[in-house]
Structure 1
Amino acid sequence: MEARKLQPAPQERPAQKSKFQRVIKGVALTLLIAITAGFIAKLPFFQIMGIMILSILIGMVWKNTIQVKPDYQEGIQFSSKVLLRAGIILLGFRLNLLDIVAAGYAVLATDVLVITFTMLFILLLGKVFKLDKHLSMLIAAGTAICGAAAIIAVAPIIKNKQEHTAIAVSCIAILGTVGALLYIFLFPYLPISKYEYGVLTGATLHELAHVVAAAVPGGAESSQAAVIVKLGRVLLLIPVALLISFIMNRKELAEKGLKSLPIPWFIFGFLFASFINTLQIVPESIVTYLLLLSVYLLAMGMAGLGLNVNYKDFAKEGLKPVGVAVVGFAGLLALSPLILFIFRMI
């Protein structure tokens, strides 16, 4: 009798192994795409786009040309959800909270102004263009805060469609790249100091990669100002994400109470990593490796998003998302005189 009871056990192992293999296959595919994007990102023009943007674009091309086998899907989902959020947590090691504090009230005032204006303006544009409110929210977060990372952080809170995430990331990626090139071209003709140029770059461009690339013509002074202002926007991702969760889920909150409120717990992991980095208790060499790991985890997650998107999804939305993103960015650029006024006054 005892021998019979032990017989089913071996039958369970193949199923578990098969599931593990499916996850590994999909994850390996996203890693391959991320590594490929990393090599491409080292090329002159593609440096502005960065590895994450290239990863999602390569993933989309792969999905719509080579196709993806069903047994890869589980691992792809793992990359686009678990690894993506792990990457955001590790991204916190890029922040030193004392640097932002030392920059003074001008940085905080500027970042609050930029995020508040941009979010409200783009959400209004979404209504005018009759764009899906979830997609409008993602484009607003990506433009106002920190590009793809903000979109990824906000997406699970508002319970949007995965294709909307990819569309928003693509719009922000392309527009941010064009914006960075525009800044580099206009720098010699702008009647502002190198420091002020850095402030505008950090306050108005989407991705950190865009900010870093665009600030180079202004030298070290411009680059330092740009990164500090941009990291201030990144820090505000935490309260903004919580506020978005409250606004987008207020009906469920009224019916079911606080338990129904989606809390992006990985955002608190991001804050904890920032706090640890601020204390400087982790050696700088290790932090460098953690940031590199963060970049590749985010790239793998982006590849996973791209591998789940059909071109038909873009065709359904038409040019509305692009229109909202472009006009929203133009509105943010129009805010530049007020941004410089704040920095001159405070």
Structure 2
Amino acid sequence: MDPRPQTLTKLDLSSKWNKWAGFIKGTGLTLILAILAGNLAVLPVFSIMGIMIISIILGVGWKGLMEVPSDAEIGIAFSSKILLRAGIILLGLRLNFSQIIEAGFSMILIDVIVIAFTLGVMIYLGKLFAIDKHLSALIAVGTAVCGAAAIVAVAPLIGARKEYTAVSVACIAILGTIGTIIYTFLYPMLGLDPYLYGVLVGSTLHELAHVIAAASPGGNVSGDIALLVKLGRVALLIPVALLLGYLYRAKDPDIKTGKGIKKLPVPWFIFGFLACSLINTLGFIPQILNQKMISVSVFLLAMAMAGLGLGIKLGDFKKVGIRAILVGVLGFAALTALGPILLKFV
């Protein structure tokens, strides 16, 4: 009898088991960090930060002090991506469509101003510091729109190199995490009510994860409006990506964009978020169950934050160079400075 089929079967089983073991390690680590963050968040010293910020800090600290097994990355990625989206969908149970109607045109105007201002300033800074135009465009769109999703969407449309995509995502993740922590500590000193603080957070931070975490100290009011403003920026991803693709194609007709346009990411989880908002608006779920599901969403988001922290590599900053980092920092600073002006439109 030929032993090869049996050997192949054993190898396949071993490979599958190794993947599952890595998945359990990664998700288990984010679970432990989220539980630890939840216990720390009830202490007076840490209560201002909340479970999500503490989860990010614990993740970054673990990454810096302890070795994260390479096979655990599949589980960490699951927490930071899939559980993040699941948490955002369930978070829709906090929103009522009457809030969206009340927000009105001013929120759309704020989102358009944020994107136009940030793209203009950061692309100009890229020229001023003489860094690659594709790299500056990716950092700019990641800051202006929605972080990694925007970067991945725009990269093939403007003909950016793969390494520029990777380091831009890393740059945005680190800057957004730092911004999230700073916002959290500044919240008591800003003198803003929860609604205005939510508008500020939603209009100036990079990723959905950053917005959700930074808005948490302001409670449900802050979190709801921050998420609403941020989702408006996310919704503008496709027109922004197509516009940048057109502008860069005009300068470089050799750019191939067919596959990129087909792969343009549509944030499907927004539809789940809106569906949960509709369920909440119509009152289909009893209030007690609704609150329990919201609590589940917060814990899933805490696991996602821990995964985000575990995925940050501070050494990635060296790959982009100091000038590219300056563009990211100065662009974010300019957007933050714009924040108080944006609040006048509310």
Compute the TM-score of the two structures, normalised by the length of structure 2.
0.74
Q: How does 1:168-247 map to 2 (within 5 A)?
A: 168-184=175-191, 197=193, 199-206=195-202, 207=211, 210-211=214-215, 213=217, 229-230=225-226, 232-237=228-233, 239-247=235-243
Paired AA for residue 255 in structure 1: G
Deviation at 1:173, TM superposition (A): 0.2
The answer on whether the counterparts of 1:80 and 1:301 sit within 8 Å (CA) in structure 2 is yes
Work out the CA distance in 1 between the residues paired with 2:39 and 2:268: 32
Residue in structure 1 matching 2:137, options 133, 145, 148: 133
String of CA shifts for 1:74-112, please: whole Å, max 9, x gaps. Answer: 2112222222222222222221112332x3xxx222212
Relative to structure 1, the CA distance from residue 4 to residue 113 in structure 2 (aligned partners, 3 Å threshold; closer, same or farther) is closer
List gaps (5 residues or longer) in structure 2. Answer: 127-134, 156-164, 203-210, 250-254
Paired AA for residue 124 in structure 2: V
Deviation at 1:11, TM superposition (A): 6.2
Deviation at 1:234, TM superposition (A): 4.6
Residue in 2 that maps onto 1:339: 345
Work out the CA distance in 2 between the residues paired with 1:35 and 1:258: 41
Residue in 2 that maps onto 1:294: 297
Work out the CA distance in 2 between the residues paired with 1:51 and 1:214: 13
Deviation at 1:38, TM superposition (A): 2.1
Work out the CA distance in 2 between the residues paired with 1:31 and 1:163: 23
Answer yes or no: is 1:260 the counterpart of 2:225.
no
The answer on whether the counterparts of 1:84 and 1:297 sit within 8 Å (CA) in structure 2 is yes
The secondary structure found in structure 1 opposite 2:236 is: helix
Aligned residue pair count: 308
Q: How does 1:9-20 map to 2 (within 5 A)?
A: 12-20=12-20
Deviation at 1:60, TM superposition (A): 1.8
Work out the CA distance in 2 between the residues paired with 1:247 and 1:58: 39
The secondary structure found in structure 2 opposite 1:129 is: helix
Paired AA for residue 307 in structure 2: G
Residue in structure 2 matching 1:307, options 291, 305, 310: 310
Compute the TM-score of the two structures, normalised by the length of structure 1.
0.74
Relative to structure 1, the CA distance from residue 175 to residue 35 in structure 2 (aligned partners, 3 Å threshold; closer, same or farther) is same
Relative to structure 1, the CA distance from residue 247 to residue 168 in structure 2 (aligned partners, 3 Å threshold; closer, same or farther) is farther
Relative to structure 1, the CA distance from residue 171 to residue 13 in structure 2 (aligned partners, 3 Å threshold; closer, same or farther) is same
Residue in 2 that maps onto 1:39: 39
